[in-house]
Amino acid sequence: MKKLFFILFICPLASYGQQAQAQAQAQSTQVTVESTTVNEVDPNVGYAAIGAAAAAKVAAMSEPLTEVITPLTVDLYDYTHIALVNVSIEGYQRYGSVSKSLSISPLTVINPKKYDKKKYKKKKTYLRTIKNPKWLYVNYIRSTQGFDDIRNLTIRDSENKVLYKTNNRNISFDEVVSVLTDM
């Protein structure tokens, strides 16, 4: 019985101790290797590589293009609010950053996350269902195709009529939404 107890309990503990000691040695060796690797790297080489990669990306990009599909024919001062119906940046909803950028507009920006949290959790585009004739309903979509940034902006009224629509390639966000901010 004593031999069985020794074999079942003491031997596994001894081997566990050896494994823990081997892991500790491996970790200390790993830390030493990582610290010498960091010290041996020339920081200027990293910046040069980043700069070269950025230059290559810029060279591969297409020429900037703005295509106005539906020109603006109404006076935006007839409206009081900008309702962000759909803001999609690379497939993710980013209402906060866009509403912050549009805050320089003379119109009041409605962020659906803050306007009604319960409705937002049920349906992200719930502002589309609220029909207010004094609101502009904005859809902004940004995606990447190869090295090109594609930005689409659509502005609608409460009757779902398109007031302004534009497709942009390699144009900055501020320039795309300038129709709303530079009134």
Of 50-54, 133-137, 154-158, 167-171, minimum mean pLDDT range: 50-54
Domain-by-domain residue ranges, the chain?
2-60, 65-181
Q: What is the pLDDT of residue 12?
A: 56
Question: Within the chain, what is the greatest distance between any pair of CA atoms?
Answer: 95
Residue type, position 65, single letter? L
Q: What is the pLDDT of residue 31?
A: 39
Answer positive or negative: Cα dihedral of 108, 112, 114, 115: positive
CB 74 within 8 Å of CB 134: no
Q: What is the pLDDT of residue 182?
A: 86
Give 20 or 111, the one with higher predicted confidence. 111
**Class of 65-181 per CATH?**
alpha beta
Q: What is the pLDDT of residue 50?
A: 72
User: What value, to the nearest 5°, has the Cα angle with vertex 25 and ends 22 and 30?
Assistant: 125
Per residue in 143-163, pLDDT (tens digit) is: 999 889 999 999 999 999 999
